[in-house]
Amino acid sequence: MTNQRDPNGVVDVAFVGRANIDLTVQVPRRASPGRTSFASSLTASPGGKSLNQAIAAARRGGRSCLIANVGDDSWGHQVAAALTGAGVDTRHVTLLPQTTTGAAIIEVTPDGESYITLALSPATELTTDDIRRATDGLDAQAVVVQLDLPPQPVTALLNRRPAPIIIGNLVPHRELDNALLRHLDVLVVNQHEAAAILNTTTDDPLTAAAELRQLGPSTVVVTAGGHGAAYIDSHGAGSVPAPAVSVVDTTGAGDAFLGSLALDLARGIPLPDVVTTAVHVGAQAVRHAGAQAS
């Protein structure tokens, strides 16, 4: 499958990770132990962090591609169609025969909070060979990789450095060598993920960003939901407050943030401006139901 957005395959950002189907229900409250909670009708829509990020970058006018595997089933074809429809280059999206596409089970409560359980499809996890094939000749200004992928493909990608800017997202896989974080130009995590990496309870995103930078990444950005985001690099540090908005669904807000951030970094925009725009993009995302509706 190839999107013809650029016939030469040139992209601003390549996103490396997972794509799946989001199975979402609106619930008045989460069920207590031994009880049943009635929900809205079930919706099934394409999702997955890397897919959401690639679509976010494309919708901001960027050239993005996704490197991921899905099953050659109805869900996998639904994922592929959504990517193509959004203008994402799908030449590195592989539909694997006799394989089930993964799913995320999402409960959204009236306050807009989303509770997500990911049902992985192990057969669709990227391999080292997948990374080598996809990055050979890759022409991208930036690459975003999910650090919670199996350690072998992540290690291969970080050692290859297939783009001038390498951005890591999420808590690294428990078997990933933390020394590899020095290969990251940018690490982007939310407050909860930062606390897990640092094994701390700090609630100050700026402090967390500074401590994470000591692990090796040149630049660190820590998001804080409705409180905005903090950033630090060799030029300085700062915080960006989030605008006040009515929250409908937080699903995918962090992905909208990261898709925007990666695109603007690829375009050479200064970090403070990049983070400011990304915060506003994330704030707009929570005003709509679903991961990509905004």
**Each residue's pLDDT tens digit, 257-268:** 999 999 999 999
User: Among residues 173, 188, 185, 210, which one has the least CA distance to residue 254?
Assistant: 188
How does DSSP classify residue 89? Answer: B
- The domains located in the chain, with CATH, are 14-32+39-285 (3.40.1190.20)
The predicted pLDDT at position 169 comes to 97
Look up the pTM and report it: 0.91
89 strand-pairing partners: 65
- Average pLDDT of 273-282? 95
Strand locations in 6-159 (E): 10-16, 20-26, 43-47, 64-71, 93-96, 103-108, 114-119, 139-146
Q: What does the mean pLDDT of the chain come to? A: 92
pLDDT at 6 over 80: no
pLDDT-derived band of residue 3, with 50, 70 and 90 as boundaries?
Answer: very low
Q: What angle do CA 146, 152, 155 make, to 5 degrees?
A: 65
DSSP string, 199-215: T-----HHHHHHHHHTT
Q: Give tens-digit pLDDT for 244-255.
A: 777 776 667 889
Confidence of residue 2 (pLDDT cuts 50, 70, 90): very low
